[in-house]
Amino acid sequence: MSGHEFQSWFPASGTIDMSDTATNIDETTLAELRQLVARYPQPRSALLPMLHLVQSVDGRISPAGIEACAQILGITTAQVSGVATFYTMYRRRPGGKHHIGVCTTALCAVMGGDAQLDDVSDKLGIEVNETTPDGRFSLERVECNAACDFAPVMTVNWEFMDNMTPEKAEQLLDDLAEDREVTSTRGARITSWREAERVLAGFPDGRADEGPSAGEASLLGTSIAAANGWTAPAPEEAK
Amino acid sequence: MSDTLTPVLTANWGTDKSWTLKAYRAAGGYAAVGKALKQTPAEVTGIVKDSGLRGRGGAGFPTGMKWSFVPQDNPNPKYLVVNADESEPGTCKDIPLLLASPHTLIEGMIISAYAINCHTAFVYIRGEVLHVHRRMQQAVAEAYAAGLLGADILGSGYDLDIIVHAGAGAYICGEETALLDSLEGMRGQPRLRPPFPAVAGLYASPTVINNVESIASVPAIINNGAAWFAGMGTEKSNGMTIYSLSGHVARPGQIEAPMGITLRQLLELTGGVREGHKLKFWTPGGSSTPILTAEHLDVPLDYEGMAGAGTMLGTKALQIFDETTSVVRTTLRWNEFYKHESCGKCTPCREGTWWLVQLLRDFEAGRAVEGDIEKLLDMCDNIGGRSFCALADGAVACVTSAVRYFRSEFEAGYTTPAWELFPYERSALFPVRTKQLVTSGEGADA
């Protein structure tokens, strides 16, 4: 293995941008953060949802958001930052209105995900982990998103875009760029990354009833069973 | 002898608005709760033990036995935590279950929590699946409104609260002790065991952690009886389970069958490998389970069958790769995943996965040198089994099994790039431009 030397590799993107102190956090946000804390037996358990809420309000993990979480939980800002930088969904810098994910874990990559990522990157004119200058799109290489029977898979604001092709991806990005209505293949109408983050924090947006119960692949076994008249055995005699 | 396929968990997935309480009740839902609450917790645990249900999240530990390890004389509260952090590459069964039928899980949670005398239960759902959160949040709210959660459930005197919790992007949180740290608001890093979670889990209190599918199987067991469940499957691997077929197949998807069906049967039912191609290698239960080849098509897909073939049933995520696929490329990409997802706590994993990726990139690019296969295996020896959790074991398993079955492909990596041996565009489902052939995953941190 010639040519490899040990190197410590801490990309600058690993840290939270503390220079930008802008924030939208107000009394309402603080009240909602406390509401999250009240849901758990122990306060600190609310930290992950709280950080999701901070992102939805500030568009990133902001210094003010870190401060607010620390104060409410009675822990240090270092403890909050330590958690915020561990998880990949927390944004250390402002991003676009829409978060575009392309799965390139082995199976999706092999089936076309690698090419898909290249296409999307070309079309948007940005590299992975960058945001378009108009603030509309951020692009991320995502890891296996538990939709392998719909590979290759993309996500928009963490909604599934199943069975992607270059044509579908092109159409999707055009529609989002023009603010046309886009619906996830197994989810709701696309809103924005920030609105998605608010749901993840634990504040429902009333869209649970949108979308199908299941995708076609999810129903593969039941459809084969129905066609063959196969069922689970009859129950035991009632005792 | 049961039918070839036995839809139980998946039976209601295609029905109109299947995720609502109304539809779930119309399909007979929540009958099992009433039945369970009339029995003692010990009796409920006994039924689950007798059914032979084993964990569906990968390890295959007997579920009822896990519950019985909870020390009931411990004065602390008992907790139930459902692991819905489905992230193992290839695994895609819990997400469709939660989208289509969140009430199946809630019903299972009520019964399971009752069995271990727990009054606060959690569902830890990975963050990257927005619509699952919506469906689960709404289902829990519906259950509260209907008196199925909260105080005095169905007049039984039993109380239970369920908290729906979002992760934030970390594969490691699917590991049960890392999940607990994450749920306590920490970085998700595994804990050293013992003590096991059953004794000192969430908030250092007795905690049961089960996979979504395991808990979702409980209502059917209570409704139909332990013998009914045990009547499906094989001698030591009981019941029905969801197999997830993906990759180079004619029809990918979820298939619920008795334990012990074979990949050959599943492929025959679904139209086989994609047209004009043949099976090269596959995973039985996600990327952490050693790969298999066409010679294993007839091995029963149950815990014992897979162990006998030198692998594991895992999550029953059957990822199928055809003859166009470079095993070196695939192994590299899986290891880029593990490198990225290593939490950094244990040195062999943190540094080892980094080194595995470096070396595998050499193999992919055709610039590995004579002896690098031995070096690769030696590194695997020094990484596997040396950390708190099994993440690195998974990283190593895909490497060693790939070398075991396809050593010549690694030898070819001494001279020839993988993309020349296996032009990558042939593996894709759509036409690919030439410039895109050589992209390698960076796996860099966001």
How far out from the chain centre does Cα A234 lie?
Answer: 42
Residue of chain A whose Cα is closest to the Cα of B319: A107
Contact between B183 and B124 (Cβ < 8 Å): yes
B134 with B166: CB under 8 angstroms? Answer: no
Contact between A214 and B430 using a beta-carbon 8 Å cutoff: no
Q: What is the pLDDT of residues B49-88, one digit of tens each?
A: 999 999 999 989 999 999 999 999 999 999 999 999 999 9
pLDDT digits (tens, 9 = 90+) for A93-113: 999 999 999 999 999 999 999
- Out of B252, B257, B446, the one facing A149 most closely (by C-beta) is B252
Q: How many CB pairs under 8 A join A and B?
A: 336
CB B175 within 8 A of CB A73: no
φ/ψ of B40, rounded to 5, equals -80, 155
**Which residue from A218, A198, A214 is spatially nearest to A206, judged by alpha carbons?**
A198
Left if phi > 0, otherwise alpha if psi is -120 to 50, otherwise beta: which for B200? beta
Strand B279-283, strand B292-293: pairing: antiparallel
Tell me what pLDDT residue A19 has.
85
Calculate the average pLDDT of chain B: 96
Q: Cβ–Cβ of B433/A239 closer than 8 Å?
A: no
DSSP letters, B366-409, are T---TTHHHHHHHHHHHHTT-SSSSHHHHHHHHHHHHHHHHHHH
Q: Which of B30, B23, B51 is nearest to B259 (CA)?
A: B51
Which of B99, B231, B242 is closest, CB to CB, to A214?
B99
Angle at the Cα of A143 from the Cα atoms of A138 and B374, rounded to 5 degrees: 130
Q: Which of residues 259-318 of B touch A (CB under 8 A)?
A: 269-270, 287, 317
Average confidence (pLDDT) over B123-127: 98
Question: Rounded to an integer, what distance in angstroms lies between the CA atom of residue B96 and that of residue B87?
Answer: 13
User: What is the reported pLDDT for A83?
Assistant: 97
The pLDDT, as a whole number, for residue A144 is 96
- For B282, the enclosing helix (H) or strand (E) is strand B279-283
Pair B253, B270: CB distance under 8 Å: yes
Q: What is the mean pLDDT of residues B201-229?
A: 98
Whole-angstrom Cα distance, residue B383 to residue B51? 37
Contacts of A40 in chain B (CB under 8 A): 163
Q: What is the DSSP letter of B304?
A: H
Q: How far apart are CA A137 and CA A227, in angstroms?
A: 44
Q: Show the tokens assigned to A95.
A: 């991003």
Dist CA B43 CA A84 (whole Å): 44
Helix boundaries (H) for chain A: 27-38, 47-58, 63-73, 77-84, 106-108, 114-124, 166-177, 193-201, 220-228
Check A101 against B128: CB less than 8 A apart: yes
pLDDT value for B406: 98
Q: Put the strands of the sheet holding B207-211 in their side by side order.
A: B161-166, B118-125, B78-84, B207-211
If you search the block for the tokens 């075991």, which residue do you land on?
A: B404
CB B262 within 8 A of CB B243: no
Q: What is the pLDDT of residue B445?
A: 36
DSSP state of B355: H
- With an 8 Å Cβ cutoff, are B141 and A204 in contact? yes
* A91 contacts A65 by C-beta, under 8 angstroms: no
The gap between the terminal CA atoms of chain A, to the nearest Å, is 67
- pLDDT, residue A16, reads 82
Q: Is B136 helix (H, G, I), strand (E, B) or coil?
A: helix
* Strand pairing category for A98-103 and A137-142: parallel
B436 in contact with A, Cβ within 8 Å: yes
Interface test with B, best of A42, A69, A148, A158 (most B CBs within 10 A): A148
B181–A contact, CB cutoff 8 A: no
Nearest CA-CA distance, residue A222 and chain B, Å: 6
Could you read off the pLDDT of A170-189 as tens digits, one per residue?
999 999 999 999 999 999 99
Write the ipTM.
0.95
- Sort out which chain A residues have CB atoms less than 8 A from B256's CB and list them: 221-222, 225
Distance CA B5, CA B243 (A): 11
Q: Tell me how close the Cα of A37 comes to any Cα of chain B, in angstroms.
A: 11
Burial string for A48-64 (b: 16+ CB within 10 Å, else e) reads bbbbbbbbbbbbbbbbb
pLDDT band at A239 (very low <50, low <70, confident <90, very high): very low
pLDDT > 90 fraction of chain A, expressed in percent and rounded: 89
pLDDT band at A15 (very low <50, low <70, confident <90, very high): confident
Q: How many CB atoms within 10 Å of residue A239?
A: 4
All residues of chain B having their beta carbon less than 8 Å from the beta carbon of residue A200 are 127, 130, 133, 166
Residues 84-113, chain B: which have Cβ within 8 Å of A? 86-92, 94-96, 99-101
Rounded CA-CA distance B321/B282 in Å is: 6
pLDDT at A236: 66
Residue A195 and residue B64: Cα distance in Å, rounded?
Answer: 40
Which residue does chain A place closest to B351, by CA atoms?
A6
Rounded CA Rg of chain B = 22
% of chain B at pLDDT higher than 70: 97
Name the token pair of B127: 């963050």
CA-based radius of gyration for chain A = 21
A180: distance to nearest CA of chain B, Å?
A: 20
Query: Going from the N-terminus, what domains does chain A have, and what CATH number goes with each?
Result: 11-94 (1.10.10.1590), 98-201 (3.40.30.10)
| Chain centroid offset of residue B32 CA | 25
The interface residues of chain B toward chain A in range 133-172, judged by CB-CB distance below 8 A, are 133-135, 137-138, 141, 163-171
Separation in Å, CA of A178 to nearest CA in chain B: 23
- Which of B131, B253, B446 faces A217 most closely, judged by CB atoms? B253
Do β-strands A159-161 and A154-156 pair in parallel, antiparallel, or remain unpaired? antiparallel
Q: What is the pLDDT of residues B268-283, one digit of tens each?
A: 999 999 999 999 999 9
pLDDT at B95 over 50: yes
Closest CA to A147 of B289, B131, B218, B398: B131
Closest CA to B320 of B397, B363, B264, B269: B264
Pair of tokens at residue A235:
């129950």
Tell me: pLDDT of B408 over 70.
yes
Q: How far is A160 from chain B (nearest CA, A)?
A: 8
Residue A137 has which token pair? 């799109």
Contact call for A141 and B133, based on CB within 8 A? no
Mutate to test the interface with A, among B92, B95, B106, B273 (most CBs of A within 10 A): B92
Q: What whole-number distance in Å separates Cα of residue B172 and Cα of residue B391? A: 7
Across the strands, what pairs with B238? B233
Above 80 in pLDDT, residue B439?
no
| Mean pLDDT value of segment B92-105 | 98
Q: How many contiguous H segments (helices) and E segments (strands) does chain B have?
A: 18, 9
Task: Evaluate whether B16 touches B24 at the Cβ level (below 8 Å).
Answer: no
- A158 Cβ neighbours under 8 A, 6+ residues apart: A99, A101, A196, A200, B127, B128, B129, B130
Q: How high is the pLDDT of residue A46?
A: 98
User: Do B84 and B107 form a contact (C-beta atoms < 8 A)?
Assistant: no
Contact A221 B257 (CB under 8 A): yes
Residue B126 has pLDDT above 90, yes or no: yes
pLDDT surpasses 80 at B443? no
In which band, very low, low, confident or very high, does the pLDDT at B440 lie, cut at 50, 70 and 90? low
**CB interface of B with A, residues 31-70, below 8 Å:** none
Looking at residue B87, what is its pLDDT? Answer: 96
Chain A nearest-CA residue for B21: A209
Q: Which residues on B lie below 8 Å from A105 (Cβ)?
A: 89, 333-334, 337
Task: Compute how many other C-beta atoms are within 10 angstroms of the C-beta atom of residue A228.
Answer: 12
Rounded CA separation A153/A163 (Å) = 6
- DSSP code, position A237: P
Task: List CB contacts (< 8 A) between A190 and chain B.
Answer: none
Residue type, B352: G
Looking at residue A7, what is its pLDDT?
Answer: 53
Of the candidates A2, A213, A232, which has its C-beta nearest B8's C-beta? A232
pLDDT-derived band at B292 (thresholds 50, 70, 90) equals very high
Residues in chain A closer than 8 A to B32 (CB atoms) = none
| Cross-chain residue pair B232–A232, CB shorter than 8 Å | yes
For chain B, the first-to-last Cα distance in angstroms comes to: 51
Which chain B residue shows the shortest CA-CA distance from A107?
Answer: B247
Q: In this model, does residue B297 exceed pLDDT 80?
A: yes
Chain B residues inside the 8 Å CB shell of A219: 10, 13-14, 253-254
- Residue B385: the pLDDT is 95
pLDDT tens track for A183-221: 999 999 999 999 999 999 999 999 999 999 999 999 999
Minimal Cα–Cα distance from B321 to chain A, Å? Answer: 8
Identity of the residue numbered B135: R
Cβ–Cβ gap A236/B91 under 8 Å: no
Is B408 at the interface with chain A, CB within 8 A? no
- Alpha-carbon gap: B68 to the closest alpha carbon of chain A (Å): 24
pLDDT digits (tens, 9 = 90+) for B153-170: 999 999 999 999 999 999
SS3 B318: strand
